[in-house]
């Protein structure tokens, strides 16, 4: 298996890098580098810049706005976008529900939703986890009862990221209570403006409002919003989660954060010489760089296998690749390790409440320490969830044991 890039692929990478350099608004780039939270308008603006170029959903079929790129070009594009660093298109639309609609939706649903997802005219959120159904997602209890031309939905979802902005939510609901757990679940698209939906914020340990609870009280959902077949939602969810886990690896993001780590560690602080001068700290950086290179090689092998399958006319997306679980585990662990090293750099200035989470607010007290120190502790706390969402790392190890090792 040859993991080297061809001259044409290297030229493609250079073109993408130039576009990211020239078209990404400087204010958004600065927020990304500094680890500050993006506003909704930032995410919308950048995705529409990408969509105008034809790059918002490059992995989709060309009929629905895709580029026709192969697996290698898709990998290079995403790697350069993460290293820029630039925001990725809203994942709940572009990488989650969009591919599900393409694979399992009907033509009416595709025409209705896909162009609006690509241009971020509709903001989507994910309604999977529940208070008693997180890693054991098949235990979900939110019900959908068919009455004429509608489903009546009752229940609760939790940890719903950015639901406060959402126009639509895609939900797993139980449509056959008597069936086995995985066999009685359906996949519904629900308009967030429908009567009976309540969104309640959850304040996270970093002080932010990123996740929410969503309550459904006799919510009427048109039956035409059912994806695929009733009671087949678990199959569609596995397809979606396979895509999500692959994206959690975020090799490009980790590369960018290591560059930031080295930059900050080279600064002289009031307490003495730069931390980068400490041999033990340099060894920690080297160790995480070795782990990241191994992860990158694993991802490239997955990309190469997908490219080979495409050349041979096989559909590499027919089933989720169990290797996505490996990428998810190591990618999340590396991202968490980098945030720990950044905290070590910031030292005593790592106070999670020294600057407002919402930049529109200003406190009377001046910030403690340098401006760049403010976001690092909140970022550390926020990164604790990476090894949990998309299926906890413990669950991924079970998948590897069964699907790869045959245990």
Residue pair 68/11 in contact (Cβ under 8 Å)? The answer is no
Task: From the candidates 230, 244, 268, 340, give the one annotated as an active-site residue.
Answer: 244
Q: Please indicate whether residue 244 is annotated as part of the active site.
A: yes
Secondary structure of the chain in the HEC alphabet? CCCCCCHHHHHHHHHHHHHHHHHCCHHHHHHHHHCCCCCHHHHHHHHHHHHHHCCCCCCCCHHHCCCCCCHHHHHHHHHHHHHCCCCCCCHHHHHHHHHHHHHHCCHHHHHHHHHHHHCCCCCEEEECCECCECCCHHHCCCEEEEECCEEEEEEEECCCCCHHHCCEEEEEEECCCCCCHHHCEEEEEEECCCCCEEEEEECCCCCCCCEEEEEEEEEEEEHHHEECCCCCHHHHHHHHHHHHHHHCCCHHHHHHHHHHHHHHHCCCECCECCHHHCHHHHHHHHHHHHHHHHHHHHHHHHHHHHHHHHHCCCCCCCCCCCHHHHHHHHHHHHHHHHHHHHHHHHHHHCCCCCCCCCCCCCCCCCCCCCHHHCCHHHHHHHHCCCCCCCCCHHHHHHHHHHHCCCC
**Residue that has been written with the tokens 């660093």 in this structure:** 85
Q: How far is 269 from 277, CA to CA, in rounded Å?
A: 12
Please tell me the distance from the alpha carbon of residue 58 to that of residue 61, in angstroms, as a whole number: 8
Distance, CA of 350 to CA of 347 (rounded, Å): 6
Alpha carbon distance, N-terminus to C-terminus of the chain: 27
CA distance 198 to 158: 12
DSSP state of 39: P
Q: Which residue numbers are catalytic?
A: 244
């Amino acid at each position: 298996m040859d993991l080297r890039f061809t001259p044409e692929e290297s030229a493609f990478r250079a073109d993408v890098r130039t576009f990211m350099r020239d078209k990404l608004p400087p204010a958004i780039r600065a927020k990304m580098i500094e680890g500050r939270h993006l506003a909704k308008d930032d995410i919308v603006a950048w995705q529409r810049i990408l969509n105008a170029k034809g790059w918002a959903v490059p992995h989709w079929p060309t009929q629905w706005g895709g580029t026709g790129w192969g697996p290698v070009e898709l990998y290079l594009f995403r790697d350069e976008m993460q290293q820029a660093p630039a925001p990725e298109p809203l994942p709940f639309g572009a990488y989650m529900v969009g591919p599900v609609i393409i694979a399992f939706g009907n033509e009416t649903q595709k025409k209705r939703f896909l162009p609006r997802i690509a241009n971020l005219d509709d903001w989507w959120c994910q309604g999977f986890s529940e208070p008693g159904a997180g890693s054991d997602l098949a235990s979900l209890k939110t019900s959908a009862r068919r009455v004429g031309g509608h489903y009546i939905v009752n229940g609760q979802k939790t940890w719903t990221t950015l639901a406060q902005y959402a126009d639509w939510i895609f939900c797993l609901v139980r449509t056959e209570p008597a069936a086995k757990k995985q066999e009685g679940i359906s996949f519904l698209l629900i308009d967030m403006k429908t009567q009976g939906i309540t969104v309640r914020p959850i304040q996270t340990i970093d002080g932010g409002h990123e996740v929410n609870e969503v309550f459904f009280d006799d919510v009427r959902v048109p039956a035409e919003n059912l994806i695929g077949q009733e009671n087949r939602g678990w199959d569609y969810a596995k397809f979606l989660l396979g895509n999500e886990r692959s994206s959690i690896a975020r090799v490009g993001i980790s590369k960018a954060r290591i560059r930031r780590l080295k930059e900050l560690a080279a600064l002289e602080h009031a307490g003495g010489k730069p931390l980068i001068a400490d041999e033990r700290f340099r060894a920690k950086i080297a160790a995480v760089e070795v782990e990241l290179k191994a992860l990158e090689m694993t991802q490239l092998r997955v990309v190469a296998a997908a490219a080979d399958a495409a050349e041979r006319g096989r559909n590499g997306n027919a089933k989720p690749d169990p290797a996505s679980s490996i990428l998810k585990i190591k990618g999340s662990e590396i991202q968490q390790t980098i945030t720990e090293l950044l905290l070590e750099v910031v030292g005593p200035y790592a106070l999670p409440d020294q600057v407002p989470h919402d930049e529109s607010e200003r406190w009377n007290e001046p910030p403690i320490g340098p401006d760049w120190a403010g976001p690092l502790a909140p970022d550390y706390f926020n990164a604790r969830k990476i090894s949990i969402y998309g299926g906890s790392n413990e669950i991924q190890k079970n998948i590897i044991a069964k699907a790869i090792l045959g245990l």
